[in-house]
Amino acid sequence: MSKESIIIFDTTLRDGEQSPGASMNTQEKIQIASQLEKLGVDVIEAGFAAASPGDFDAINKIAQKIKNSTVCSLARALDRDIKSAGEAIAPAPKKRIHTFIATSPIHMEYKLKMKPNEVIAQAVRAVEYAKSFVDDVEFSLEDAGRSDMEFMKEIIDATVSAGAKTINIPDTVGILLPDEVGSRIAELKAFIGDRAIISVHNHNDLGLAVANSLSAINNGARQIECTINGLGERAGNAALEEIVMALKIRQDIFNSVETKINTKEIYPTSRLIASITGIEPQPNKAIVGKNAFAHESGIHQDGVLKNKRTYEIFSPEDIGLDLNNTLVLGKHSGRAAFKDKLEQLGFTLSEDKLNEAFKRFKELADKKKDIYDDDLRALVTSQMTNIQKSWELVALQLMDSTGGVPSAAITIKKSNDSVITDAGIGDGTIDAIFKTIDRITGYQGLLKDYKVKSVSQGKDALANVTVQVQFNDDEPAVIGHGLSVDTMFASAKAYLGALNSYISMEGMLKRRNEGEECNV
Ligand code: KIV
Ligand code: ZN
């Protein structure tokens, strides 16, 4: 029996980016989109083109790069949003506009201040206008979870007649239970038939987003909107990795459907998103959490040693995780071994990028005896995400702060190759470093968050520092990453990384249609 395909619509770059503190720069978004393509997602929602020039630019660049997945932009049911979406995705071989309007009584009355018949007219107009840019148009009924069934049927009928090919039924506030989702989707499926694909977009406010998505599949939904690591507005969206693995592991139940996801890319994708956003999945997170394969109790360990299947329903390799985090390379490893190892980890680099990575690897091997998979992953990811280098750290010297005033002397190279050295003091060592960087570069950053994490084991472990810095009151904070065996050096690099990221998007971060709120 041939199986029906479940369309995996990934919205990590749009709804996921709405997670507090998850904003990403254009290079990072391109990197993520390429990894999502490799993972095998059908649709990449690359952003919300009308939200800001930065969002538009990122979607447009993704549209130029991605060949196998459909590239999609969100748009409110407004001409200017739809035009912007249509223009941003134009270069993509496969493209979609996703337009939406709220349909629940509370949203229509208080947010939109519109009558139901006006909402239907605007939705139809939006779909028709979107069709003038692309054939593939998706229409979403925002807050469908609290919308009236009969009204939903009316607006669905009108928008499908206007040309919408996918109808998305979001539980925007994450209020529904699996049985409710199931019966609503079954009723809508009976109503729509084969005129359009039914999609769901479940938020996780009650921790039910994945269960609700699976229930929707059982009742006729054929597109699932989801994010890597369950990122997203508030409590997040349904986690892609959980849905895909549930469908795969429980083929006894879901025997008539399948996805195109290459599950071996799940773990590398999860790590990439975590390292770019600085948002680590909780340790006990299903599938990709640090403890997902950790067996603590003696009885469990004994069972797993005898037969893994006693306590493991799938193996780490199924999601592309090598639990041994094998000790891979050392100072004397050659370029060929290095290249080979990167390929095993899923990184295929151009000659130039490989040479740069190999140079960084050799520098690291001088300071760190053993280099593990996670070190290499962090090394390559940080190289890929810190592409824009307006300012580069050359040297950092700290004065002993014990009993004295914490101070830092820093040398930084500008992209025009001029080198500047200056020194400054601060309330603590980190403060001294960041203030000195501000003095040299002329930017004033406000530190919003600072995290340090060791990449692998050992006293000489690499420190991975993530900072969130705001450089302008009117603009969102940006993220920077720094990697070094020295935590202070990593901190300085992270701060400069945030500044470089900010500079690469300067002027494009300005929010959202002259102050209008475009987050959804
Ligand atoms: O949660 C929601 O309703 C959305 C829509 C725009 C699909 O994100
Ligand atoms: Zn959403």
453 or 88, which is more confident: 88
Verify whether ligand 1 is closer than 6 Å to residue 9 (CB atom). no
15 within ligand 1 shell (Cβ under 6 A): yes
Q: Are 147 and 141 in contact (CB under 8 A)?
A: yes
Sequence-separated (6 or more) residues with CB below 8 Å from residue 497:
385, 386, 467, 479, 480, 481, 482
Whether the pTM exceeds 0.85: the reply is: yes
Residue-wise pLDDT for 399-409, tens only, equals: 865 678 899 99
Among 52-61, 95-104, 461-470, the range of highest mean pLDDT = 95-104
Number of the ligand 1 atom closest to the C-alpha atom of 140 = 7
Q: Determine whether the shortest distance from the Cβ of 520 to ligand 1 is under 6 A.
A: yes
pLDDT tens-place string over residues 288-304: 998 998 877 777 777 77
| 422 three-class SS | strand
Dist. CA 216 → ligand 1 center (Å):
16
Residues 6+ apart with CB under 8 A from 353: 383, 384
Helix (H) / strand (E) element for 411: namely: strand 407-414
Ligand nearest to the CA of 19: 2
DSSP structure string for 332-401: T--HHHHHHHHHHTT----HHHHHHHHHHHHHHHHH-S-EEHHHHHHHHHHHHH----SEEEEEEEEE--
Probe ligand 1: pick from 17, 142, 231, max atoms within 8 Å of CB?
142
d(CA 512, CA 52): 5
Question: What is the biggest distance separating any 2 CA atoms in the chain, rounded to whole angstroms?
Answer: 76
pLDDT tens column, 484-506: 999 999 999 999 999 998 888 77
Domain 391-505 carries which CATH code? 3.30.160.270
Q: What are phi and psi of 193, to 5 degrees?
A: 60, -135
Contact 512, 518 (CB under 8 A): yes
Q: Which CATH architecture has domain 4-284?
A: Alpha-Beta Barrel (3.20)
- For the stretch 205-225, pLDDT in tens is 999 999 999 999 999 999 999
Q: How far apart are CA 449 and CA 247, in angstroms?
A: 37
Locate tokens 């530190």: which residue? 447
pLDDT confidence bin for 510, thresholds 50/70/90: low
Kindly state if the Cβ of 100 falls inside 6 Å of ligand 1: yes
Please tell me if the CB atom of residue 254 comes closer than 6 angstroms to any atom of ligand 1.
Answer: no
Q: Is 133's C-beta closer than 6 angstroms to any atom of ligand 1?
A: no
| Closest Cα to atom 5 of ligand 1 | 142
Q: Give the closest ligand to the alpha carbon of residue 166.
A: 1
- How many Å lie between the centroid of ligand 1 and the Cα of residue 504? 29
Q: Ligand 1: distance of its center to the CA of 441 in Å?
A: 40
Residue recorded with tokens 């009236």: 148
| Closest among 111, 110, 73 to 90, alpha carbons compared | 73
Percent of all residues in the chain with a pLDDT value above 90, rounded to a whole number: 67
Pick from 252, 251, 179, 254: nearest CA to 222: 254
**Contact predicate 347/382, CB 8 Å:** no
Does the Cβ of 142 fall within 6 Å of ligand 1?
A: yes
Cα 198 to averaged position of ligand 1 atoms, centre (Å): 15
- In percent, the amount of the chain with pLDDT more than 70 equals 95
CA-to-CA distance for 290 and 270, rounded, in angstroms?
Answer: 11
Q: Cα(201) to centroid of ligand 2, in Å? A: 6
CA distances from residue 315 to 229, 301, 312, 322, 454 in whole angstroms, order as listed: 18, 15, 7, 10, 25
Answer with the residue of higher pLDDT: 11 or 415: 11
Range scoring the smallest mean pLDDT among 11-15, 91-95, 418-422, 456-460: 456-460
pLDDT category, 514, cuts 50, 70, 90? Answer: very low
Q: Which two tokens stand for residue 236?
A: 């997040």
175-207 confidence digits (pLDDT tens): 999 999 999 999 999 999 999 999 999 999 999
Which ligand number lies closest to the CA of residue 98? 1
Mutate to test the pocket of ligand 1, among 140, 141, 167, 231 (most ligand atoms within 8 A of CB): 140
Edge-to-edge strand ranges of the sheet holding 391-399: 391-399, 407-414, 419-425
Q: How far is the CA of 230 from the centre of ligand 1 (A)?
A: 14
**What's the pLDDT score for residue 127?**
98
CA geometry: angle at 104 spanning 98 and 105, to 5°?
A: 145
Degrees, nearest 5: CA angle 263-241-74 = 110
Q: Give the DSSP H or E segment for 312.
A: none
How confident is the prediction for the chain on average, in pLDDT? 91
Query: How far apart are alpha carbons 157 and 328 in whole angstroms?
Result: 58
| Rounded distance from Cα 15 to ligand 1 centre (Å) | 8
pLDDT at 246: 98
The pLDDT value recorded for residue 380 is: 85
From residue 356, alpha-carbon distances to 136, 337, 352, 383 in Å are: 41, 15, 6, 8
Q: Higher pLDDT residue, 285 or 341?
A: 285
Return the number of other C-beta atoms located less than 10 Å from residue 371's C-beta: 23
Measured in angstroms, how far is the CA atom of residue 195 from the centroid of ligand 2?
24
Look at residue 398 in the predicted model and tell me its pLDDT.
Answer: 93
Span of 304-318, 336-350, 421-435 with lowest mean pLDDT: 336-350
Report which of residues 310 and 319 the model is more confident about.
319
The structure tokens listed for 343 are 């390929």
Ligand 1 centroid–CA 142 distance in Å is: 6
What is the residue extent of each domain of the chain? 4-284, 293-319, 327-384, 391-505
Is 17's C-beta closer than 6 angstroms to any atom of ligand 1?
Answer: no
**99 C-beta closer than 6 A to ligand 1:** no
What is the per-residue pLDDT for 184? 98
Predicted confidence (pLDDT) per residue in 452-475, tens digit: 988 877 778 889 898 999 998 888
SS3 per-residue string spanning 245-297: HHHHHCCCCCCCEECCCCHHHHHHHHHHHHHHHCCCCCCCCCCCCCCCCCCCC
Separation of CA 22 and ligand 1 centre (Å): 17
- Could you identify the atom of ligand 1 that is nearest to the CA of residue 142? 3
Instruction: Select from 400, 332, 372 the least CA-distant residue to 458.
Output: 372
Pocket test for ligand 1, best of 72, 98, 201 (most atoms within 8 A of CB): 201
Per DSSP, 202 falls in state E
Classify residue 19 by its DSSP letter. S
pLDDT band at residue 387 using 50, 70 and 90 as cut-offs = low
Least confident of 251-255, 329-333, 337-341: 329-333
Q: Does pLDDT of 512 surpass 50?
A: no
Both tokens assigned to 242? 């959980």
Q: Which two tokens stand for residue 489?
A: 């050096």
Distance 346 CA to ligand 2 centre (A): 30
